[in-house]
Amino acid sequence: MLFFIFGFVSWVNAILIPYFKIACELTHFEAYLVTFAFYISYLLFSVPASFLLKRTGFKRGMMIGFWIMSAGAFLFVPAALTRTYGIFLGGLFTLGAGLAILQTAANPYITVLGPKQTAARRISIMGICNKGAGILAPLLFAAVILRATDTDLFQQLGTMSPFAKAAALDELIRRVALPYAFVGGALLILGFLVRFSPLPEIDTEHETAEVAEANADKTSIFQFPHLILGAFGIFLHVGASVITVDTIIPYAQSMGLPLLEAKVFPAFTLTAMISGYLMGIAFIPRIISQVTALRLCTALGVMLSLLIVFVRLPVTILGHHTDLSLWFVVLLGFANSLTWAGIWPLALDGLGKFTKLGASIMIMGLCGNALMPLGYGWIADHFGVRQAYWVILPCYLYLTYYAMVGHKKRKW
């Protein structure tokens, strides 16, 4: 349930970006401030979250995280009533701050809840819940706020008088107020539910004799190269993943698809991701190790990145008339599926009493979601939306390095 909520709140950004771009009259760069505001909070709040969790424990910390998210959702109401993009960004930042606390607690919790050899399987199960919510979120949000006549409205905006256009955009943006008020109330209640849930507390402060001996000379979290390299890998992985999902609607629109048709493509991408999770559950570690799965996914990411940029071929798939490169973006969902699940157990291996702080360093890597879409947006504004996908190729090349070599490093 927790990971379903993470996914719902995070992946709804895929529809918020084109929606705000129209309603608040933004450039590509300005529209991708949605992801910047949401995910930059991970950079700022992840380490404080580790100290909060150390003081309160996992359950109380998650309750506080839900309450902070609730406050962020409620900020959407005044933002919608005044059509103020800055307040929307403030609400997204607050949502991200609460989610940073929840993610800092939940990911190591899942990792250390059982044997490390099967951690990728457990994270894959959580990933299905997360991405399943990601499929539903843009579609449900679009069903609530978009209407069949909006395609005509979007086409008419350019010919309206300034007064009529402002009135139409005000009406358009106010549709988000009620859904986010409902989300805020639900998050407030969930904070109470998780506090009194039967989830067990997990002790990460006491080490086994083997781990204690290995870490006897460690005084700083930065003395674990495999963790720091893994955190940078998370930075690049999540940045590439969010670009894959959050840019696919504008990319489809660049091929002539209207928003009401293009809105389904994030669901296609996340479905590809879920299929990867299902394979992970079925095959890890019975048929392949989680390291091998990580290597296959990162290599596939390199290949698909190149195909997006170089392949040009009109196709009709599932009734959508597009360029074939759009479907390579969809397939990146499969390449991204087991990367997160593969990196976490490798990066947290052997941290012992440093686990909570190590997890916070890993969660800081989620600020890649904030920074990399801005890079994509800038390139898209200046060179085109297809050429902007060059930004993800170095990500997959580094992830391939970490899967092959980087995770083995125990000394700098």
What pLDDT does 303 receive?
97
What pLDDT does 312 receive?
92
Rounded-to-integer distance, Cα 325 and Cα 311, Å:
6
Rounded-to-integer distance, Cα 62 and Cα 58, Å:
6
Rounded-to-integer distance, Cα 163 and Cα 20, Å:
19
Rounded-to-integer distance, Cα 42 and Cα 125, Å:
23
pLDDT digits (tens, 9 = 90+) for 343-359: 988 998 888 778 778 88
**Domains of the chain (ranges plus CATH)?**
2-197+221-408 (1.20.1250.20)
Rounded-to-integer distance, Cα 219 and Cα 259, Å:
53
Residue in the structure block whose two tokens are 């899942």: 110
What pLDDT does 117 receive?
74
Q: Give backbone dihedrals phi and psi of 39, rounded to 5 degrees, phi first.
A: -95, -15
What pLDDT does 211 receive?
56
Q: How far is CA 221 from CA 58, 84, 345, in A?
A: 20, 41, 16
pTM for the model: 0.75
Q: Which helix (H) or strand (E) holds 322?
A: strand 320-323
Would you say 291 and 345 are in contact if contact means Cβ atoms under 8 Å apart? Answer: no
CB atoms within 10 A of CB 192: 12
Burial of 231 (0-12, 13-18, 19+ CB in 10 A): buried
Per-residue model confidence as pLDDT tens for the chain (412 residues) = 888 888 888 778 777 877 888 888 888 888 888 878 888 888 888 888 878 887 887 778 888 999 999 999 999 999 888 888 889 899 999 998 998 888 877 777 777 777 777 777 787 788 788 878 877 887 788 888 877 777 777 777 777 888 888 888 888 888 888 888 998 998 999 888 888 887 766 665 555 555 555 666 777 888 899 999 999 999 999 999 989 988 998 899 999 888 888 888 988 998 898 899 888 888 887 888 889 999 999 999 999 999 999 999 999 998 899 999 999 999 999 999 889 888 988 998 888 778 778 888 888 888 888 888 889 989 998 999 999 999 999 999 999 999 999 999 988 8
Q: Is the dihedral of CA 54, 57, 60, 63 positive or negative?
A: positive
Rounded-to-integer distance, Cα 351 and Cα 327, Å:
40
Would you say 365 and 229 are in contact if contact means Cβ atoms under 8 Å apart? Answer: no
Rounded-to-integer distance, Cα 185 and Cα 178, Å:
11
What pLDDT does 264 receive?
87
C-alpha 237: how far from chain center: 10
